[in-house]
Structure 1
Amino acid sequence: MENQVSSQRATLFVVCVAHFLMPFMMSAVGIALPTMGREFHATATQMGLVETVYVLSASIFLLSMGKLADMYGRRRVFQLGLALFTCMGGILATGWSAESIIVLRFLQGVGGSMVMATSVAMIVEAFPVSVRGRALGISVSCVYAGVSCGPFIGGVIVSHLGWRYVFLLCVPLGLAAFLLTTFRLRPEVRDVVREPFDWKGSIIYAFSILVLIAGASNLDFGVWAYAALVAGVAGLVGFVMFESRQAYPLLPVSLFKGNRVFAFSNLAALLNYAATFGVAFFVSLYLQYIKGMTPAEAGTVLMVQSLVQAGLSPFCGRLADRYPAANVATVGMSLCVGGLVIAASVNEATSIWVLYGMLALLGAGFALFSSPNTTVIMGSVESRYLGVASGLVASMRTLGMMTSMTIITVVFSILLGGHAISVETYPAFLKSMQLALGIFAGLCTLGVLCSLGRLGGPKAA
């Protein structure tokens, strides 16, 4: 029993380190981009690719890594992912050109996908149902802690030590997690029969995601980008149809057809991320352009949401242990709807205290939704599908974020017509923000309906 508790604590620790490290690196690297760009005389496109290729790589490989984890061991894939992510961090610190940074970030994204596709499954496998929600809540709070700390700590490191030390920071953290995974985690009990890996499905999915992200990231460039976006969506539809006919699919479509809880919970997650991800983008621009704040001041205001999420997530996880997790998640998404309705009504005269309240409400709503919803998803599948389910949870997050930014881009192109944000275009910017946030409130309302639709289904295992 003592060894089991020790292994549980070690599992939670290494997952928490990983959950902190991934978003921390994303936000900290974003702060370091201008300094890196000046050193390498990089173009704006190249600097944008430093972030984009990481997200692209992680998105492409999430499902595949989840499936491989189910086939060959979640701890093994997690461990290899940590090793790759950490090694790439060390090599990135020695980067010699913008091109080298872009390639290395793509490889680091592969490592990140291996970690993200297995971390939740490892917690579910290690902790019994009675305390699983609390463990997931703690791990989720580390994600928000990484998001909150990244800009501040990254800014301090870049200012005093240089951008290379941002990447170096992941080496000791990653190494500690790797060693702990090697020596303290209990061996997995495998209950899966080895089966052929679905390479064709993996390629179709990867290509569809690649085309989808390429289109969504370049909608300002005209017709070809919209065509790519449509082709990417069509590719994903084709992928689902292809998988439904496979004996050993990358994505078992039967999980959606025969499991209402799993299907509605994933759809709720997709809609929630699509509805909430763009809020920080709009509020940041609003604070700097309309309210005249500096980037540092705007960043401090935006920290309210992440800090509330980080502080409440462990408590919300415990709520999911005591009460039906689906009910807790539904309440959380309902709070998000309220926060988005307030956000959609913001204008040039809105008080800063209204913004604080709106961000706090969104933070509380997302804390109530995130880990309980994950608890529902992971508890609704057999243990042999935990890796696929974990990869799918991460995929819903990525696709939701991309959907959010696509909506923003389309709204901007319609109402701002390609013009920069300036004093003359402030009214158009405010209309764009209000329209997009109104759409987000509508999406979140659909998410509440999806969350309600799973109630009464089979209980989580």
Structure 2
Amino acid sequence: MTDKRLVLLITCMTAFITPFLGSSVNIALPSINADFMVPDEALLNWVALGFLLSAAIFVVPFGRIADIIGRKTIFITGLSIVVISSILCSMSSSIHMLILSRAVEGFGSALIFGTSVAILTAAYPMKERGKALGINVALTYLGLSAGPVLGGFITHNIGWRYIYGGMAAYASLVALLALLVLKENERCAENAPFDAVGTALYGAMLFTFMMGLSMVPTIWGGLIIALSLAGMAAFFWWELRNPNPVLKVSVFRKNTVFLFSNLAALINYSATAAIAFLLSLYLHYIQGYDPQSAGLILVAQPIVQAIFSPLSGRLSDKVEPRIVASMGMGLCIIGLALFALLTPSTPLYQIIASLMFLGLGFALFSSPNTNAIMSSVDRCDYGVASGMVSTMRIIGQMLSQSIALLIFLMIMGHTEISRDQSGPLMASVQAAFLVFAGLCVIGLFASLMRGNLRSGATPVNALHQKQ
């Protein structure tokens, strides 16, 4: 086995960790609530929100730090933090200790997010990169999709604490392999000062934005989001004037492939991350399936993604990523539109077929899109680019859930979801899928507008053509 294949093995093992940690906890929340008797549901939600907030805030800054001091160091540090914080999660004696441990776990995940894809990208030449990234993306989606299923199985049979105990053991193994196998990547701008002010502005901007999303549609949620937009303006103003920014805004301004590929990723995640949430409600409350059976039905989508993501990644090595990714976005539009036509009597085979169709769309979009993002920047910016890939995913997850909850509130009000409310629930699910299909139409335009990676449309792309 060659060195680059070992790099692929380690980064793929890691690709499963952080999305699994982010998605598995949702299914365990009722059991966590029963253990700690949480007095406030908002406090319980912080078990999931604390992880996402911490990961989103630190991923880009530590991607930049990794580019400066070395990616292997940050990568192994992140895995070590995940090991320790997962042990603390499993040993938590109160809801407050669990929330704090989850925030630390998100911090460790940020260090992994900002380095894993960068390490993999640096290990493979451009002509082979799409295939490798495709395999990595397959494991990322598998972690996102398997989280609720595997997390539910563990919680039901042996308890939610074993989710974190098992993850601590798994992450320890990956950290040991990384320590023994990985070589330190080249360091860029070792003597450049770190942009502490930009990092603080970036963190404040994302914190207020995600806090605002969690409070939508209250007036406070709107005000906090407006505050985050003001913070965004201050952040970009500072970064444009800083010779050593934490995020090179010039990459967005001068590199259309990087800009529109990230925008397309954000839209795609915003339109699709809540699919499992919507379908689990539909399958349970309207079709009458128990949670375990509903979880098994939803597995149809990640299986197709896992099969086709490496193939679509390899295809993007030979065909422009813009074309392949846009085809995938188009299939997502059709798949979401099919789900908007769901009725209480929709047969199971049609639901599974639509899930498989969506899985193919995700596979065709995600791998080539990640390939476009990573291959459109210079080697010294791989860490920041890797961080942006993860940031788009995390913000997209938050946006998707917020959009779905807002639609539910508009149609159902504050009524508790139950089988007695199947009519309004059905209308809410249909409306959400229709909105998400419309979002993907916008995403399709963003995907098509990015330009060709191999046309030399930007100075950076021209550089990669020579490598």
Q: TM-score, normalised by structure 2?
A: 0.93
Please name the residue that 2:101 is paired with.
104
Alpha-carbon separation, structure 2, partners of 1:410 and 1:230: 18
d(CA) in 2 for partners of 1:424, 1:216: 29
Give yes or no for the alignment of 1:328 onto 2:328: no
Query: Which amino acid in structure 2 is aligned with residue 202 of structure 1?
Result: T
Say yes or no: does 1:281 pair with 2:277.
Answer: yes
On the 8 A contact 1:144/1:307 being kept in 2, the answer is no
Query: Which of these residues, 162, 166, 177, is aligned with residue 180 of structure 1?
Result: 177
SS at 2:246 equivalent: coil
Q: Deviations over 1:158-187 (max 9, x none)?
A: 344333222111222212211221121123
Cα displacement (A) at 1:193: 4.3
Structure 2 SS opposite 1:244: helix
Secondary structure at 1:444 match in 2: helix
Please give the alpha-carbon distance, in whole angstroms, between the structure 2 residues aligned to 1:33 and 1:406.
18
Matched, 1:239 2:235: yes
Cα distance between partner residues in 1 of 2:314 and 2:182: 24
Shift of 1:206: 1.1
- Deviation of 1:415 after TM superposition, in Å, equals 1.8
Partner of residue 368 from structure 2, selected from 372, 375, 400: 372
Structure 1 residues 336 and 383, CA gap change in structure 2 (3 angstroms): same
Structure 1, unaligned stretches of length 5 or more? Answer: none
For 2:386, the aligned partner's letter is S
Once the two structures are superposed, residues 69-126 of structure 1 have per-residue CA deviations (whole angstroms, 9 ceiling, x without a partner) of 1111111111110111111112222222111111111111100000011111111001
Q: 1:425 to 1:37 in 2, by over 3 A?
A: closer
Q: Is 1:212 matched up with 2:209?
A: yes
Alpha-carbon distance between aligned partners in 2 of 1:36 and 1:412, rounded to the nearest angstrom = 25
2:263 is the counterpart of 1:267 = yes
Supply the RMSD in Å over aligned alpha carbons: 1.9
Deviation sequence 1:393-439 (CA, Å, 0-9, x none)? 11111111222122222222222222223456433333322222222
Question: 3-state SS of the aligned residue for 2:274?
Answer: helix
Q: For the residues of structure 2 that align with 1:50 and 1:343, how far apart are their CA atoms?
A: 30
Query: Measured at CA, do residues 250 and 53 of structure 1 come closer, stay the same or move farther in structure 2, by a change above 3 Å?
Result: same
**TM superposition score normalised by structure 1:** 0.94
Residue pairs, 1:57-456, within 5 angstroms: 57-219=54-216, 222-422=218-418, 425-456=421-452
Over 3 Å counting, the alpha-carbon distance change for 1:424 and 1:58 in structure 2 is: same
Task: Measure the CA separation in 1 of the matches of 2:234 and 2:415.
Answer: 37
Distance 1:128 1:360, change over 3 A: same
- Do the aligned partners of 1:59 and 1:113 also contact (CA within 8 Å) in 2? yes
Moved more, 165-174 or 24-33: 24-33
User: Are the equivalent residues in 2 in contact too, given 1:10–1:181 (CA < 8 A)?
Assistant: no
Secondary structure at 1:108 match in 2 = helix
User: What secondary structure, in the 3-state scheme, does the structure 2 residue paired with 1:248 have?
Assistant: coil
Which residue identity does 1:259 align to in structure 2? N
Counterpart AA for 1:239: F
**Aligned CA distance change for structure 1 residues 295 and 319 (closer, same or farther; 3 Å):** same
- Counterpart of 1:55 (choices 40, 52, 55) is 52
Q: How many residues align?
A: 456
Determine what percentage of the aligned residue pairs are the same residue: 38
Letter in 1 for 2:206: I
Note if contact 2:20-2:144 (Cα within 8 Å) is conserved in structure 1: yes
Which SS does the other structure have where 1:219 is aligned?
coil
Unaligned runs of 5+ in 2: none
